Structure 1
């Protein structure tokens, strides 16, 4: 239930959970089924009022604000099939957030040809929850730690922390080739673009935004290396593009990888991209207490490393002790 009327204006009083949210995002979520173009039209025309005054789409709501929303006729049919309820493996949960271990192959949200993702499934599984929002993103093909905020204040603080780089994020990746340096800083700017087919891609380009990855060698085989990548920035496809650009494409990467090698790996049992978000360290967004979380490699990735041990000579300790 969105509580909107199709025949008369609706008044909403903003509560603490909605405080701090942009009014355009507030309306888009409230008026599910209404085109975004219509939402921005009624904002531009002044039909949406806050405390009886006109506001722009970037106005941030405050607790106690009264929002007047004009009649909106919503689509009778949902734009996407209803998401099935699903609970994911929980690494940590408290009053402010949930941290799950996301499996590979599941998008974090619906859109771009995907009917639903993690956030829609969690909301369906927890209908009593007043607030559930993604604090960040993981690629569909990437597994591992994903934060979902349960309070608006926690979400706002988490967004600030991700933007400021105060959340330590580490990933495990298997790459083609023999990575030699124990520790290497990779600073290569990344530029987003669309292919002729309309697919999103990223490339290293001086026109791009600054991107910084720290790569540490974990183990090395004759033809592969397991590396731990610490992200100092959070650009789209950052790990995949940085490593591929350096000549070390991720095993199983269908966008930036070695496609001939990927076919061989699929026959050998690796049917997904080898990238896993394994470590998060942050101050709790509300209490400030230190929060250190980890997720081990999923069984299919651990099993593939065991196969490598059987067929190739390995050097380096695995599992590798965590380092600061």
Structure 2
């Protein structure tokens, strides 16, 4: 929910948090300060994170209200990175975290945590989100450390030259051990996509890794990079992802989709790859024995 108002003569000159309290009395001062601290406050469409900042008459105030339970800080330390060199770094994105900032939030996103890490090692470049994972998806995210690296990986992504491997858990048992979905995707509502002849080309190859207790572990290799591609293609195949209720999946602790690995060729022909571990909830829901031998659960 985003609340908007214009600063009038009565609030002009007040601290930002005091002005917001006067305009939106239904919010506590603590809630307002949390919104400001977490990057959900804008004045004239510019992010403001200083509660003591004086407001001026005529300024447009916007507050993005986010549930308090979603305010979970995220910090990356060097030993936690999945990959790092002078051009790129890769991090593990946990399920439930946003890849990039939203109108409600800056702090607690992967984008912000990576930028804080880059500043801690002396880099001045911002964190550039060149690809993203849905909030419910876990796994590998790559970030370029400078503009030239951003251009390189962005072009590779557009050309389909970044190899991505996803793991998913679905209900039921596919008839085939592998299959390919070649079905264009288009937006069907604000938050959902679907197969449509008018959509953009989308292709995914699927493999069955193992089955047990009515659950199948699936490996997905997207050959294109459309929004919600794997989620929609699995639902289109009759096997929606467990926890993905938007596309018909049964309820679960989380959406059981994980970006296991990303691989591409970097500067001077260097092969760059990162692999992300599974979390405890994913392992607990998976068919027994499919992943245990190769996994150390993510925290």
TM over 0.5: yes
Task: Pick from 277, 286, 290 the counterpart of residue 296 of structure 1.
Answer: 277
Deviations 1:24-65 (A, max 9, x none): xxxxxxxx96549xxxxxxxxxxxxxxxxxxxxxxxxxxxxx
Q: CA, structure 1 residues 95+276, in 2 after alignment: closer, same or farther (shift >3 Å)? A: same
Deviation at 1:281, TM superposition (A): 1.4
Deviations 1:193-219 (A, max 9, x none): 33xxxx321011111110000001100
Task: Pick from 143, 152, 177 the counterpart of residue 147 of structure 2.
Answer: 152
Report matched runs for 1:203-282 at 5 Å: 203-258=194-249, 261-262=250-251, 266=252, 271-282=253-264
Could you tell me how far apart the structure 2 residues matched to 1:156 and 1:83 are? 31
Could you tell me how far apart the structure 1 residues matched to 2:292 and 2:220 are? 15
Higher alpha-carbon deviation: 164-173 or 87-96: 87-96
Asked if the contact 2:118/2:124 (under 8 Å) is kept, the reply is no
Deviation at 1:244, TM superposition (A): 0.7
Deviation at 1:287, TM superposition (A): 3.2
Deviations 1:236-262 (A, max 9, x none): 00011111111101001131133xx31
Asked if the contact 2:45/2:60 (under 8 Å) is kept, the reply is no
Deviations 1:94-144 (A, max 9, x none): 111110011110001121544442112222344342112122110010000
Deviation at 1:302, TM superposition (A): 1.3
Q: What RMSD in Å do the two structures reach over aligned CA positions?
A: 2.9
Residue matched to 2:93: 102
Asked if the contact 1:85/1:124 (under 8 Å) is kept, the reply is no
Partner SS for 1:154 = helix
Could you tell me how far apart the structure 1 residues matched to 2:60 and 2:88 are? 33
- TM-score, structure 1 as length reference: 0.64
Is residue 135 from structure 1 mapped to residue 130 from structure 2 by the alignment?
yes
Is residue 86 from structure 1 mapped to residue 75 from structure 2 by the alignment?
yes
Could you tell me how far apart the structure 2 residues matched to 1:126 and 1:292 are? 20
Deviation at 1:224, TM superposition (A): 1.6
Asked if the contact 2:44/2:61 (under 8 Å) is kept, the reply is no
- TM-score, structure 2 as length reference: 0.69
Task: Pick from 110, 119, 122 the counterpart of residue 111 of structure 2.
Answer: 119
Deviations 1:296-320 (A, max 9, x none): 2222211222xx53xxxx8xx6569
Q: Which runs of 5+ in 2 are unaligned?
A: 1-41, 47-58, 66-70, 295-299
Deviation at 1:148, TM superposition (A): 1.0
Could you tell me how far apart the structure 2 residues matched to 1:280 and 1:125 are? 21
Partner SS for 1:255 = helix
Asked if the contact 2:170/2:216 (under 8 Å) is kept, the reply is yes
Asked if the contact 1:85/1:125 (under 8 Å) is kept, the reply is no
Could you tell me how far apart the structure 2 residues matched to 1:168 and 1:252 are? 25
Tell me the number of residue pairs that the alignment of Structure 1 and Structure 2 aligns.
Answer: 231
Partner SS for 2:82 = strand
Could you tell me how far apart the structure 2 residues matched to 1:170 and 1:203 are? 22
Large movers: runs of 4+ above 6 Å: 75-83
Report matched runs for 1:70-85 at 5 Å: none
Q: CA, structure 1 residues 83+273, in 2 after alignment: closer, same or farther (shift >3 Å)? A: closer
Residue matched to 1:182: 177
